[in-house]
Amino acid sequence: MDKATANFRSRFPALAQQIYGKPLVYFDNAATSQKPDCVIEMLEKMNAEACANVHRAVHRLALDATDLYQQGREAAAAFIGAPADEVIFTSGTTAAINLVASCYTRINLKKGDKILITEAEHHSNLVPWQMACAIYGTSLLVTPVGEDGTLDMETFRRQLDNGVKLVAVAHISNVLGVENPLREIIAAAHEAGAVVLVDGAQGIVHGKVDVKSLDCDFYAFSGHKIYAPTGIGILYGKRELLEKMPPYMGGGDMVDRVSFEKTTYGPLPLKFEAGTQNIAAAACLAPAMKLAREVQEDAALQAATEATDRLMAEQLATIEGLHCPSLANPLRKGIFSFCIDGVHPADAAQIMDKMGVAVRTGFMCAEPLIRKYSEHGMMRASLMPYNTPEEVEIFIAALKRAITMLR
């Protein structure tokens, strides 16, 4: 392992563990990332010191907590190139998408309108739109992806011309790891009069995001996939859209004046943040985003990450009967999902677990896409910059052993 990776890796205490007496190989990063020392320290500080509710009281602890909470928002906003008041805290990507699917649709969709998604969406960017369609009598169109996960842009453009009011698309597929051409998608959608929501749960991890330059209308992501704790996520939305949308939940902190006759709502982003948020996790976004930015700017670490990804691709290609649809797709980022002839992925994962290797199997919350490739689900290995070539070797050896046992 090179020095940049070793240094970075040393900041994640969970990665130093042994599992069943063997070194942990954590390749389930697309489910959640491991947490670095700076995030663990902030979480500790938020519970052991700056423990108070935000925006309410005048006492010292409340002021400290509010400060740290706001720094979390500013860090997340800066990370995606957005002003802080256009960044709404949610519990995660799912909650962020549901917010748009509930509130934006309420004033903008009518019977006969269409919502367009892609075949490679996570259930979080599919089911909320089905629910909206059931309420408003809108219909759901689905743009197919090719065998290797590349979006069929020709069909996409054709579908757009058909009364589509909203496009909801993953930045990067959680199964195939394939990055969608967001600029092209957004430009075409806007031309057709549709707004675009980007599900950035995976995309935020694997490249720089600038929502203003992308010109997307909404961008959602979760903190926990990018070094922050679980329970905090972001919805970026363009101010003019957010201002017109009705609130999601009613409650404390989201109001301006309240009387029994009439209530006026607070300014952005508070209008969408009823109740006490996950204050500690929100504050952790500051160290998490700082670290993620350092990773992006560390050329040596980037080169090592790419080399590890290449090694993984080369090694997987040598396994007989293994089918990884997006393996050779140049748009693939950090994620490998595959099926193996004659081997049920759940069996293989169970055996590999005993060798200290953590992977994901099944339908990965993208059942319609995975059914295209296999009725038994797939195995997914997803890498982060702290993963090493040595881990790839252990993973490949474990996979080969499992295949030998199971075939």
Partner 1 sequence: MTIQEITEQIVEEFSVFDEWLDKYEYLIETGRQLPPIDEEAKTADNLIEGCQSRVWLDCKERDGKLWFTADSDAVITKGIISLLIRVFDGQKPEDIVAANLSFIDTIGLRDNLSPTRANGLHSMITKIKAYALAFLQKEDNEQK
Contact positions with partner 1 (CB under 8 A) in 216-245: none
* Per annotation, catalytic residue among 103, 216, 284, 365: 365
Long-range contacts for 36-41 (Cβ within 8 Å, ≥24 apart)?
36/11, 36/12, 36/227, 36/287, 36/288, 36/291, 37/11, 37/12, 37/13, 38/11, 38/287, 38/288, 38/290, 38/291, 39/227, 39/228, 39/229, 39/284, 39/287, 39/288, 39/291, 40/13, 41/287
CB of 312 to partner 1, least distance (A): 23
Residue 270 to residue 76: CA distance in whole angstroms:
16
Q: Tell which residue, 286, 308, 277, 302, has the closest CA to residue 395.
A: 308
Q: Closest CB to partner 1 among 183 and 354?
A: 354
Contact positions with partner 1 (CB under 8 A) in 316-355: 344, 346-347, 349-351, 353-355
Q: Is 303 in the site for partner 1 (CB under 8 A)?
A: no
User: Binders of partner 1: how many residues, by CB under 8 A?
Assistant: 18
Q: Is 260 in the site for partner 1 (CB under 8 A)?
A: no
Q: Which two tokens stand for residue 312?
A: 């993984």
Upper half-sphere CA count for residue 318 (Cβ side, 13 Å): 10
Q: Where are the alpha helices (DSSP H) in 109-192?
A: 127-136, 153-160, 182-191
* Site map 18..57 versus partner 1, x via CB under 8 A: --x-------------------------------------
Amino acid in the structure at residue 172: I
Contact positions with partner 1 (CB under 8 A) in 377-396: 377
Q: Is 212 in the site for partner 1 (CB under 8 A)?
A: no
CB of 375 to partner 1, least distance (A): 8
Stretch that binds partner 1, among 108-116, 152-160, 234-242, 373-381 (CB under 8 A): 373-381
Q: Closest CB to partner 1 among 327 and 351?
A: 351
Q: Closest CB to partner 1 among 178 and 339?
A: 339
Residue 15 DSSP class: G
Stretch that binds partner 1, among 96-104, 301-309, 327-335, 371-379 (CB under 8 A): 371-379
CB of 343 to partner 1, least distance (A): 8
CB of 346 to partner 1, least distance (A): 4
Q: Are 335 and 378 spatial neighbours (Cβ–Cβ below 8 Å)?
A: no
DSSP for 223-271, written as a single string? GGGGTSPTT-EEEEE-HHHHHHSPPSS-STTSEEEE-SS-EEEPPTTGG
Q: Is 405 in the site for partner 1 (CB under 8 A)?
A: yes
CB of 18 to partner 1, least distance (A): 15
Residues forming a β-bridge with 391? none
The residue within the footprint of partner 1, chosen from 361, 382, 387, 388 (CB under 8 A), is 361
Whether 216 is catalytic is no
Q: Closest CB to partner 1 among 24 and 283?
A: 24
Q: Using alpha carbons, list the distances in angstroms from residue 176 to 122, 273, 344.
A: 11, 33, 19
Q: Closest CB to partner 1 among 55 and 376?
A: 376
Q: Closest CB to partner 1 among 354 and 371?
A: 354
Q: Closest CB to partner 1 among 83 and 362?
A: 362
Q: Using alpha carbons, list the distances in angstroms from residue 231 to 38, 45, 91, 94.
A: 17, 17, 5, 11
Q: Is 6 in the site for partner 1 (CB under 8 A)?
A: no
Q: Which residue has the tokens 């979080």?
A: 124
The residue within the footprint of partner 1, chosen from 45, 55, 372, 376 (CB under 8 A), is 376
Q: Are 171 and 209 spatial neighbours (Cβ–Cβ below 8 Å)?
A: yes
CB of 394 to partner 1, least distance (A): 15
Q: Which two tokens stand for residue 321?
A: 């009967």
DSSP for 275-318, written as a single string? S---HHHHHHHHHHHHHHHHHHH-HHHHHHHHHHHHHHHHHHHT
Q: Which residues are designated catalytic? A: 365
Residues that bind partner 1 (CB under 8 A): 20, 344, 346-347, 349-351, 353-355, 361-363, 375-377, 405-406
